[in-house]
Each structure stands twice: as C-alpha cells, then as structure tokens.
Amino acid sequence: MQSARQILTGFPHDWYRQMRATNPVYFEPRFHIWYVFRYEDALRVLNDPATFSSETGQPSILGMDPPRHNLLRNLISRAFTPRIVAQLEGKITEITNELLDAAIARGQMDVIRDLAYPLPATIIAELLGVPSQEREMFIRWSNIITAGQRFGQGQTADDEGRKQTDREFREYFAIKLEEHRRQPDDDLMSSLILADVDGQRLNQEELLSFCRLLLFAGYETTANLIGNAMLAFEEHPDVVEELRGNPELMPGAIEEILRCYGSVIGAVRHVTTDTHIGKQALKRGDRLIVRADSANYDEEQFHDPERFNIRRMPNRHISFGHGLHYCLGAPLARLEGRIALNLFLQRLRNVRRNEDQPLEGVRSFFLLGLTSYPIIFTAR
Ligand code: HEM
C-alpha cells in the first residue's frame, strides 16, 4: 500500500535531501520557477524583500512589499489581535462538538468533509460577522472560490461561475462594511474599519481584499492542518495514544505536524535585481519558491529531521513563513488545530481509515492536503 505521506503530492524526500546536498537552488522547467531547498537560503530570501519581492500590484498584503506592506500589516494587526482570536475559543469548541455530534449520530465520518473544511470556514464566517442564517451561502462561496486555486480538481463551478461568486462575495461584504461603518461593533470588521496608523486607514479596496484574503489564506490551509494530522496519526499510533492521555502535548504535536506534513508548499517571490543564492546566479524577473517542505527537513537546522518528535525543541519550521510576511493567522490556526484534534481524539475511539476508499491528494501548486479521509470509529 502507498504510504499515507506519499499520497500528498509533495514529499519526495530522498530527492530533496539529494538536492539540498548537491543542487540547492534548482530551476524547475515545468513551471519556470526556481526551487530553494535549504533552510538557510530560505531565510535569506524571506528576510530580503528588496531583492526577493512579493509585489503583485494587488491591494492584498500577501502580495505587497515595504513600505506599503508595513503600513497595511500594522493596520490589520491592530484589528486582528490575540484578543479577537482568543475570543473564538468557545466558538471553535462549540462548532467542533456540533460537527462531531453530527458524525457520531450518522455513525460515519469523512474527516476532511465533515470536520477539516467546515470548521475553519465557519470560523472565518464568524470572524467576518456573517450571521448564522447566511453561513451556508458563505461556505458555498468559500468552496467555489478556493476550488479555483486548484488544478482542475474538485471544482464546483466553471470560470464564469467563479467570477459570479467573486462578484457576489464583494457585493455582500461591501454592504457589510457599510453596516459596520454606520454602527461599529467590537468585532474584527469594525476594528479593521477603525484601525488607524498616523491618520492612515484601510481603504474600501483594501478592506474587501482582506476579507477575501482571510478565505484564501485561512481556509484550506487550516483544513489541511487538520486533515494532514490524520496522516501523522496514522503513521504514529503511539503518538495518538500519548496525546489522548496528555492533551497538553497537542501544541507541540501541531508544530511537528506543521513541520513534517505542512499544508503550504512554500512562499513565492520574484527577483528584483541580478543576484546569487549560494553559487547559483539568478536574474532580475526570475521567480522562485522557497520550498518549506524541504527546508523543514534540512539536517543543518533540524536534528534527526526524519523523526516525528512532538517534543522537538526548538522547532523553527517555516510552515507559517518567516520574516515580514509571517502568517498573521498562525495563532488562530494553532487554536483551531488544538481544539479540533483534542476533541477528535477525546470523543472518537478505535479510529481507522476506511481503506475501501482510496486516498487522493489535493492537486494544487501551493497546498498539500487530502480530498477525503473516511474513517471507521466508535464513539465514547
Ligand atoms: C501568510 C501559512 C492559516 C492569514 C502566510 C504565509 C504562510 C502561511 C506560509 C506566508 C506567505 C509568504 O511569505 O508569502 C499558513 C498555514 C496556515 C495558515 C500553514 C494553517 C495551518 C492562516 C489563517 C489566517 C491566515 C487561519 C487567517 C484567518 C494569513 C495572512 C497572511 C498569511 C493574512 C499574509 C501576511 C502578510 O503578508 O504579511 N500564511 N497560514 N493564515 N496568512 Fe497564513
């Protein structure tokens, strides 16, 4: 049988190891992009936005360089605070329990379809103040928009359908923003509208683009954290038993799941001026991707990198990126992961994958994840 990890599209680990040793910056002709395999080179790229730019010309912080990025990130950080995230703890617990109740009542579960996806989608809806009666519509849009990021797989709408959904999404949130402007609350959207750095505020385009970015950046990524944890559990049953007895070990386990089964392949940049990484010359205009899935296994940085060790200390993986674009949603993803996985282990027993249904990896340039993970279980 194919190993669970190989099912994810990435993880050609023998090749990565060889490349780190012999050819650490490699031009991938299929995608016309350089791969940066080593940890140290990855940090150099991510710490030097002047040479390795994120700029896309879009109003989204993910595709922006300093100084504009600093201002926007400052504004967003004022709104997207640890307090806002901590407030979600009760909600995350409630939704996870509801999803698990439903699965237990049905007596069957596909972890991807029934937990990994609906949880972060509902939490983003909550963050954006989407009322419960409009949640289903929001989740439908989210699925259509995120499916557009994949290669011809699991798509629920054609291009025209997706554009239409994008328009509906924008119109809906333009109205929501207007409502919050008229009547500010203590929620994220009001804080975003009111956030102020030296008299500068987010404009309407930037606000709308941030609403969309939450989906783009926070939905499938978090879904894949929960989904990929299933592969980690499958490959390390001893760890599952340990975690069941010691839920306080979950944060360490999550870091190791992110390192070894990370949900994002890496970060893309383009070269602004002729430069070198190590011995490799790069030209202005070249594009590169920092391969987190290789850097996270770099033997120069991680002791015994192939070992899945939930007590690894320090664990400086770059699955949330590094430097100025470091993931703004990391505290939220960690919180969702901890609550969802602990409740999953507490409430379900004798979990095993239903091997009648073959596993399939998500086909995406950026993401590593599963399209389904059907299980057989008993409930406590
Ligand atoms: C940035 C990964 C969850 C919001 C990033 C970056 C990575 C990443 C690698 C940096 C990209 C770059 O440097 O080009 C992940 C992973 C997640 C996750 C693996 C889940 C396990 C979330 C969540 C949210 C979020 C839940 C929000 C709800 C963002 C934002 C940025 C970002 C806004 C842009 C930050 C900036 O450009 O300054 N994420 N993310 N992410 N992430 Fe996440």
pLDDT tens-place string over residues 116-135: 999 999 999 999 989 989 99
CB of 332 shorter than 6 A to ligand 1: yes
CATH number of 4-379: 1.10.630.10
CB of 289 shorter than 6 A to ligand 1: no
3-state secondary structure of 56: coil
Q: Is the pLDDT at 171 greater than 60, yes or no? A: yes
What is the 8-class DSSP label of residue 264? Answer: B
**Residue 79 — pLDDT band, cuts 50, 70, 90?**
confident
Give me the residues paired with residue 375 across strands: 109, 353
What is the 8-class DSSP label of residue 376? Answer: E
| More confident position, 220 or 360 | 220
Please report the ipTM that was assigned to this predicted complex.
Answer: 0.99
Question: Residue 322 C-alpha to ligand 1 middle, in angstroms?
Answer: 10
pLDDT for the residue 215: 87
**Residue 11 — pLDDT band, cuts 50, 70, 90?**
low
Cα separation of 29 and 10, whole Å?
17
Question: Residue 218 C-alpha to ligand 1 middle, in angstroms?
Answer: 7
3-state secondary structure of 165: helix
CB of 228 shorter than 6 A to ligand 1: no
Question: Residue 366 C-alpha to ligand 1 middle, in angstroms?
Answer: 12
For the chain, percent of residues with pLDDT exceeding 90: 73
As a whole number, mean pLDDT of residues 25-48 equals 96
Give the chain's mean pLDDT: 91
- Indicate the top mutation candidate among 60, 221, 224, 327 to test ligand 1's pocket, ranked by most ligand atoms within 8 A of CB: 327
> What pLDDT, in 10s, does the model give residues 342-354?
999 999 999 999 9
Question: Residue 89 C-alpha to ligand 1 middle, in angstroms?
Answer: 19
Highest mean pLDDT among 114-123, 152-161, 208-217: 114-123
Q: Is the pLDDT at 10 greater than 80, yes or no? A: no
Atom from ligand 1 closest to the CA of residue 219: 26
330-347 and 118-127 are packed helices; what angle lies between their axes, rounded to 10 degrees? 140
pLDDT for the residue 91: 96
CB of 328 shorter than 6 A to ligand 1: yes
CB of 192 shorter than 6 A to ligand 1: no
CA angle 55, 61, 63 (to 5 degrees): 25
In the numeric block, which tokens belong to residue 66?
Answer: 């300093």
As a whole number, mean pLDDT of residues 288-312 equals 96
**Residue 3 — pLDDT band, cuts 50, 70, 90?**
low
**Residue 186 — pLDDT band, cuts 50, 70, 90?**
confident
- A 10 A CB-CB count for 158 gives 10
As a whole number, mean pLDDT of residues 146-150 equals 70
Q: Is the pLDDT at 154 greater than 70, yes or no? A: no
Question: Closest Cα to atom 26, ligand 1: which residue?
Answer: 218
pLDDT for the residue 45: 98
Q: Is the pLDDT at 9 greater than 90, yes or no? A: no
Q: Is the pLDDT at 90 greater than 50, yes or no? A: yes
Atom from ligand 1 closest to the CA of residue 264: 19
Question: Residue 320 C-alpha to ligand 1 middle, in angstroms?
Answer: 6
CB of 368 shorter than 6 A to ligand 1: no
Atom from ligand 1 closest to the CA of residue 61: 37
